[in-house]
Amino acid sequence: MDHAADAHRTDLMTITRHVLNEQSRNPESRGDFTILLSHIVLGCKFVASAVNKAGLAQLIGLAGETNGEEQKKLDVLSNEVFVKALVSSGRTCVLVSEEDEEATFVDPKLRGKYCVCFDPLDGSSNIDCGVSIGTIFGIYIIKDKDNVTLDDVLQPGKDMLAAGYCMYGSSCTLVLSTGSGVNGFTLDPSLGEFILTHPDIKIPKKGKIYSVNEGNAKNWDVPVAKFVEKCKYPKDGSPPKSLRYIGSMVADVHRTLLYGGVFLYPADQKSPNGKLRVLYEVFPMSFLMEQAGGQSFTGKERALDLVPTKIHERSPIFLGSYDDVEEIKALFAEHAKSSSA
């Protein structure tokens, strides 16, 4: 009998156990973060289950059957689940959700020290064709929970305490960083627990894939067009890169993290700030990339240095393998130099 394998199977590293281990290294830790995370995990499990049933619900016409109410759209439902889970954790004081125009300030009686920015169901336009979608979140600490204002939310990404995403795909995977590397956990449906399956994820230094919506090429700026041209027709004798684009950020970033390469949603002539949102798309994914050894760039600066001025602000983004992002940075620098000459 293989005792080592057997011990492994009976000694499961669940996400809660993992985070407790990490927190125990901090003598000031009171378990608040672990409690907050367990509420996020609950939201993810709920959404995973709802996403799994989505196709079925439509096919057998569950909509509106029970009490005459319209069946809620999945993104609206997911938002409600996360807001309720986060508020009831007693550990949050302000929430920013992609679904809500305004930030939610938690009732003072239920307040804790954390701010959570999240997109409850990113990529939701892909639901009806069964493509992987996900929840993205970033977590900050607020200095004074009793006097919290919107300014406390508009912090640069580098001040983030933790970030992660949960991908609802062929398996349900939660990727998390609390600032000391990146770990991936897969939901074991028979246990209802996220188990550590991808410890200490490191993105390859250079990748063979680029990921971008090429339908926007007509409006691209010069450095973006040059980069994509280099991917297709490299002049240094290297093989061309493969193009992969799902159109669901969590899925595209997850592949980039595991296989390497670069994901870009640039600014263009039509959308000078790109499409993706700073607080709950750009920052969490940039935090994870840096923690995994990659880079993230806006076309002007390190993405995590950005200081947002509005909660739903957008920013262009280039993230992925260190060397690939370095190449993009060089093209932007070269372009800036030639335009100022």
Interface with ligand AFP (CB under 6 A): 122-126, 213, 247-249, 252, 275-276
**Which residue's CB is nearer to ligand AFP, number 33 or number 287?**
287
Q: Closer CB to ligand AFP, residue 29 or residue 58?
A: 58
Spatial separation of the C-alpha atoms in residues 321 and 329, rounded to whole Å: 12
Count the helix, strand and coil residues of the chain and give each as a percent rounded to the nearest 5.
40, 20, 35
Please state the closest distance from residue 18 (CB atom) to ligand AFP, in A: 27
Nearer to ligand AFP, 244 or 275 (CB): 275
Minimum distance of ligand AFP from residue 263's CB (angstroms): 8
User: In the complex, what is the shortest distance from the CB of residue 48 to ligand AFP, in angstroms, rounded to a whole number?
Assistant: 17
In the complex, minimum distance from the CB of residue 120 to ligand AFP, in angstroms, rounded to a whole number: 10
Cβ-based neighbour number of residue 174 at 10 Å: 25
Least Å from the CB of residue 75 to ligand AFP: 8
From the list 147, 84, 146, 69, the residue with the least C-alpha distance to 116 is 84
- Give dist(CA 316, CA 223) in Å, integer: 13
Shortest separation between residue 159's beta carbon and ligand AFP, angstroms: 24
Nearer to ligand AFP, 160 or 249 (CB): 249
Q: Report the alpha-carbon distance of residue 184 to residue 202 in Å, rounded.
A: 11
CB atoms within 10 A of CB 203: 26
Q: What secondary structure letter does DSSP report for 277?
A: B
- Residue closer to ligand AFP by CB (options 197, 219) is 219
Evaluate the CA torsion angle 30, 34, 40, 45 in order and state its sign: negative
Q: Which two tokens stand for residue 214?
A: 């090429």
Kindly tell me which of 38 and 126 has the beta carbon lying closer to ligand AFP.
Answer: 126
Both tokens assigned to 334: 């070269």
Q: Do residues 211 and 244 make contact, with C-beta atoms less than 8 angstroms apart?
A: yes
